[in-house]
Amino acid sequence: MTKQQDYPRATPLWLNLALWIAAGVLMFAALEYQERTGPTKELRGDFTVDGTEYSYELIRSGNSHEDARVVLPGAGDTVQGMIQYKRYPTSDEFSSIPLQLEGEELAGMLPKQPAAGKLEYFITLETPSGVVRIPEDQTDNVIIRFKDAVPIYILLPHIIFMFFALFVGMRTALAAVVTPQDMRKLTWVTLGLMTIGGLILGPVVQKIAFGELWTGIPFGYDLTDNKTLIMWIVWVAACGLLFWKQVQSETARRFAVVVAAAVMIVVYLIPHSLRGSELDYDALDQGTPASEAVRTGQLR
C-alpha cells in the first residue's frame, strides 16, 4: 500500500493553482445554489400590465426593530395595489395595506414583528386590464421572518469563516484525490475554519438574532444547527482517521476526506434557515413573553 512519505514533497505550482481554481468553482457553485433557494432570500418573479412585463423581488427577511418595506416596480399612475397580510402561522384574518407610488416604485410597509415572528402576505394590483395577484398562485403566499439585527462585526466574520471553510474543504477533497501530500494540513485548516465559523460564531449570531445559542440536537430541530453539527462531526472523524495509527491504509484516509467534503457539499446545498426559529403566536397571545415563545423545527 502507498504511504504518505512516498508522495512528492511539494505540489507543482501550476497544479496547485489549478486545484485552488477548481475548488473556487465548486465553492461558488454551491453558494450560488444556496443563495437562490433559501427561504429568507427574495422571492423573484414577474407580472404583466398592459403587455409590459415587470420583474420584482419580494422580501422574506426583516429586522424586528423596523417595519419591512415591500417594493414593486411602478407600472403607471393607473395601477393601484394592496398588500394583504397576517401573522404566520395563525388563523387571523388578512389585513390590508395600500401601496403608495414613490417615484418609479410601489411601496408599502409591513408591521415589524418580534424576533422569529413571521408574516405571510400577497399583493393585489388593480390595473386597467384587471386584477393581478402576486404571487400568481392563489395558494402560495410570501413568508417573511423577522430577526434582531446582528452587528456587522459579528456577522461578517461568521460569513467569512464559513465561506473559507467551504473553499478550503473543496481544495482538501481535490488534494485527497490528486495531491495527497497536501491533504493533512488542509484537513485541519478546514476543521478549524468550520469550528470557528459554524460552532462558535454561528451560535453567537443565532443568539443575537433569535435569542437562543443552539437550537439543534439535543435541544431542538433547527436544520441549520443540525446540518452544521453533522458536517463538523464528519470532519472531526476524517481528521481522526488521518492520525489514527491503527488505520494503515492511505486509501482509506483519502476516502474519508472525500466523504467529508461530499457531506459538506450536501450541507451547503440544503437551503439556509430551513426549519429555523419561529415565534409561537398562540403562546404570545396567552401572555408568554416573545423571547420565551420561540420554537424551532418549522418547515418555513
For residue 2, name the pLDDT band (cuts at 50, 70, 90).
Answer: very low
Section 18-40 average pLDDT: 86
Section 10-21 average pLDDT: 90
Question: Would you state the pLDDT for residue 1?
Answer: 38
Q: In terms of pLDDT, which residue wins out, 254 or 78?
A: 254
Same domain, 20 and 154: yes
Residue 81 domain flag: yes
Residue 78 domain flag: yes
The tens digit of pLDDT for each residue in 165-190 reads: 999 999 999 999 998 888 999 999 99
Section 18-36 average pLDDT: 88
Same domain, 155 and 245: yes
Domain that includes residue 137, residue range: 43-147
Same domain, 164 and 225: yes
Percent of the chain with pLDDT over 90: 64
Same domain, 33 and 154: yes
Whether the predicted pLDDT of 64 surpasses 60: yes
Same domain, 156 and 262: yes
- How many domains does the chain contain in total? 2
Same domain, 23 and 161: yes
Tell me whether strands 43-49 and 118-127 are parallel, antiparallel or unpaired: unpaired
Last residue of a domain, one of 147, 162, 192: 147
Same domain, 221 and 262: yes
Whether the predicted pLDDT of 113 surpasses 90: yes
Same domain, 77 and 170: no
For residue 35, name the pLDDT band (cuts at 50, 70, 90).
Answer: confident
Question: Would you state the pLDDT for residue 157?
Answer: 97
Residue 289 domain flag: no
Same domain, 194 and 263: yes
Same domain, 66 and 199: no
Section 71-100 average pLDDT: 92
Residue 263 domain flag: yes
What is the domain-level CATH number for residue 110? Answer: 2.60.40.10
Same domain, 74 and 115: yes
Reported pTM: 0.85
For residue 273, name the pLDDT band (cuts at 50, 70, 90).
Answer: low
Same domain, 160 and 264: yes
Quick check: 104 and 87 in contact, CB under 8 A?
A: no
Residue 276 domain flag: no
Residue 293 domain flag: no
Section 288-300 average pLDDT: 76
Which three cell numbers, joined as nine digits, stand for 153?
A: 462585526
Residue 83 domain flag: yes
The tens digit of pLDDT for each residue in 208-253 reads: 999 888 888 888 778 888 999 999 999 999 999 888 766 668 888 9
Residue 160 domain flag: yes
Question: Would you state the pLDDT for residue 246?
Answer: 66
The tens digit of pLDDT for each residue in 132-152 reads: 999 988 778 999 999 999 999
